[in-house]
Amino acid sequence: MAHLRESTDKALKLLRTLPRVQIGNLRPNPNSKQNDKRGRAQHGGDKHGAGNKGSGQRQNFMRLGYETGNQPFYLRFPYEPYYKGHHMRREYPPISMLQLQVLIDTNRIDISQPIDIATLCNSGLMSLKPAELQYGFQLTDDGLDNFKAKINIEVQHASEAVIAAVERNGGVIRTAYYDPRSLHILSNPKKWFEKGLPIPQRMLPPQDAVEYYTDAKNRGYLANPEEISKERLVLAQKYGYELPRIEDDANYKMLTAAKDARQLFHGLEPGWLINLVDKTIVKLKAT
Amino acid sequence: MNIHKLGISTGSAIGRARYFSSVAKPELPASFVKDDVEYVPERDKSGLRQQHKNVLHETLPYNEAHSWIHLTEKYQRNMYGRYGSKSNVNPQICFGTLAERTKAQQRESITQPETLPELLEKLRIRKAAKQAAINEREESIQKKLEKLDQWKAELNAKVEKRKADAAAAIQRKERLIEEVRRHFGFKVDVRDERFKEMLEQKEKEDKRKQKEAKRKVKEEKMMAKLVQQTS
């Protein structure tokens, strides 16, 4: 035991003389910091980690899962049914309720107007790529407990909890389908209006999306409005909150504003020509 | 120092010229500039072309067509969209011709031939077919479940019977072997010829006995029947 005590004493003695752990003698973990400067020539300026040839050098990165001609891993096993038709599936990029609340709190979104894809894209923080099969936004339930805004929002997909969170605050939520051309227009309306073309009609949803958008539970834009108001009550009872009466609301007109199934922009009908410079609407006179 | 030298030399040259001109040449006719208009030096030093300057000032870049592209409908629509009435484009061009509009409508009817009620009807049919398939399967399972106990009992009986038969056959064989051994009075190897012969004989006898027993049973049955019929 004596030798042990001796060694502990030695260790303690050593520890006393060693420098303390403090901010002055700490350094970042090795390789945890990346140098943001790109060395040239002899200062590490060879290939910069991009390799000698191929897609690494050209920085044209392959699509996810692609294995340069091999049968990709995610397609290798023919009995994985959830990958069926994956290249044609509709994608709905997520927006969390927290993000939406932040957008509202930082005045990126005006809640005195109905919110739709164009509003979200015009905030400058969201973007949509219809060419990559993105079919609009889905509102996810992250941060739904802290969601306090009273809004009229139109998204492309929303879960039950999200619908409940919006309606609990006296807001209105609707899910609506937009075809890729409409999405292209809505993702950057200003650019599209500069083309000088009349607003086209919105297309109806494809067969496999009809069920979702005609269901009152999903607040689909093709559902029966009476059923929707019934489902609002049902959801309020299920989640245990009192449904605020939007009929008595001062913003009743704004809150219940909804687009037609063929309409792209609030207040603008298909077939109208909008000029942003003159601020005029040109309509084709029916003969 | 060079400049200084140059200054001196040029000064002397001008002096010389003045001296000679006053002597040899007649005076040139003078041209006048107004003194009330102030000279404004060139401010625009951007070097931009006129069309780009126009774009910068948000006016039409070209007043007249400089390329065949400027005559296309698409370009003119673009100009209307970007510069509005300043572009001098008739907005009628943005709507296309009647033929184009009808063609677009036709295309739309091809890309989306179904109306919403038709889509809903299709959905209803598809759902009904799915539900029918589920119901059919459930019904068939229910029917099978009703008979399950019976089938189980039958199977168990079959298995038991097979087992019992196998046990009986083994017992019979053993009995026969034992009989053969008793006949010889000593232990005979099973592979021995004599043993085999004896065993065959015994088996034959056994079979005959079994047949007779069967026949007897049959006859008894017949007799019983006859007795029943007569009585």
Long-range CB contacts for residues A120-124, cutoff 8 Å, separation at least 24: A120/A95, A121/A186, A121/A187, A121/A188, A121/A189, A122/A189
Half-sphere exposure of A136 (CA within 13 A, CB side): 26
Chain centroid to CA A33: 30
Number of domains in chain A: 1
> For residues A60 and A50, is the Cβ–Cβ distance under 8 A?
no
> For residues A174 and A154, is the Cβ–Cβ distance under 8 A?
yes
Q: Dump pLDDT digits (tens) for A44-64.
A: 888 888 888 888 888 888 888
Residue A28 lies in a domain: no
CA distance A132 to A90: 9
> For residues B27 and B50, is the Cβ–Cβ distance under 8 A?
no
Q: In this complex, is the C-beta atom of A280 within 8 Å of any C-beta atom belonging to chain B?
A: yes
- Provide the sign of the torsion angle of the four alpha carbons A95, A98, A101, A106, taken in this order: negative
Task: Determine, for residues B111 and A203 on separate chains, whether the beta-carbon distance falls below 8 Å.
Answer: yes
Q: Dump pLDDT digits (tens) for B46-99.
A: 899 999 999 999 999 999 999 999 999 999 999 999 999 999 999 999 999 999
CB atoms within 10 A of CB A164: 21
> For residues A104 and A149, is the Cβ–Cβ distance under 8 A?
yes
Q: In this complex, is the C-beta atom of B114 within 8 Å of any C-beta atom belonging to chain A?
A: yes
> For residues A93 and A137, is the Cβ–Cβ distance under 8 A?
yes
Between CA B179 and CA B186, with CA B182 as vertex, the angle to 5 degrees is 135
Which residues span the domain enclosing A214? 89-282
Mean pLDDT of chain A: 92
| Residues belonging to chain A | 287
Q: In this complex, is the C-beta atom of B157 within 8 Å of any C-beta atom belonging to chain A?
A: no
Residue A64 lies in a domain: no
CA distance B112 to A205: 9
Residue A252 lies in a domain: yes
Residue A9 lies in a domain: no
pLDDT-derived band at A82 (thresholds 50, 70, 90) equals confident
- Measured between beta carbons, the chain A residues lying within 8 angstroms of B108 are 201, 203
Average pLDDT of span A167-180: 96
* pLDDT at residue B121, rounded to an integer: 96
Task: Determine, for residues B123 and A211 on separate chains, whether the beta-carbon distance falls below 8 Å.
Answer: yes
Task: Determine, for residues A196 and B115 on separate chains, whether the beta-carbon distance falls below 8 Å.
Answer: no
B179: burial class by Cβ within 10 Å (0-12, 13-18, 19+)?
A: middle
- Measured between beta carbons, the chain A residues lying within 8 angstroms of B127 are 211
CB atoms within 10 A of CB A228: 18
Between CA B150 and CA B156, with CA B154 as vertex, the angle to 5 degrees is 115
Type and span of the H or E element at B52: helix B50-56
* pLDDT at residue A20, rounded to an integer: 85
Type and span of the H or E element at B94: helix B92-95
Residue pointed to by tokens 């309606």: A167
CATH at residue A151? 3.100.10.10
Q: Dump pLDDT digits (tens) for A132-142.
A: 999 999 999 99
More confident residue, B187 or A280: A280
Q: What is the DSSP string of B156-211?
A: HHHHHHHHHHHHHHHHHHHHHHHHHHHHHTS---TT-HHHHHHHHHHHHHHHHHHH
Residue A14 lies in a domain: no
Q: Dump pLDDT digits (tens) for A219-234.
A: 999 999 999 999 999 9
Which of A274, A198, A194, A280 has its CA nearest to residue B83?
A194
Q: A136 vs chain B: nearest CA distance in angstroms?
A: 20
Backbone Cα Rg of chain B: 62
CA distance B133 to B89: 62
Q: Complex ipTM, two decimals?
A: 0.71
More confident residue, A157 or B194: A157
pLDDT-derived band at B104 (thresholds 50, 70, 90) equals very high
Q: In this complex, is the C-beta atom of A283 within 8 Å of any C-beta atom belonging to chain B?
A: no
pTM score > 0.95 for this model? no
Where does chain A show beta strands of DSSP type E?
A: 94-96, 138-140, 152-155, 157-158, 172-175, 273-275, 280-282
CA distance B53 to B59: 9
Average pLDDT of span A4-30: 88
A283: burial class by Cβ within 10 Å (0-12, 13-18, 19+)?
A: exposed
CA distance A172 to A246: 9
- Provide the sign of the torsion angle of the four alpha carbons A66, A72, A73, A75, taken in this order: positive
The letter for the amino acid at A7 is S
Q: Is the pLDDT of residue A200 over 50?
A: yes
Residue A22 lies in a domain: no
Residue pointed to by tokens 């060139």: B42
- Measured between beta carbons, the chain A residues lying within 8 angstroms of B60 are none
Closest CA in chain A for residue B59: A277
> For residues B85 and A278, is the Cβ–Cβ distance under 8 A?
yes
- Measured between beta carbons, the chain B residues lying within 8 angstroms of A275 are 80-81, 84-85, 91
Closest CA in chain B for residue A280: B84
pLDDT-derived band at B1 (thresholds 50, 70, 90) equals very low
Average pLDDT of span B190-195: 79
Q: Is the pLDDT of residue B191 over 70?
A: yes
The letter for the amino acid at A172 is V
Residues in Cβ contact with B71 at an 8 Å cutoff, skipping those fewer than 6 apart: B65
User: For testing the chain A interface, which of B78, B94, B123 should be mutated: the one with the most A CBs within 10 Å?
Assistant: B94
Q: In this complex, is the C-beta atom of A281 within 8 Å of any C-beta atom belonging to chain B?
A: no
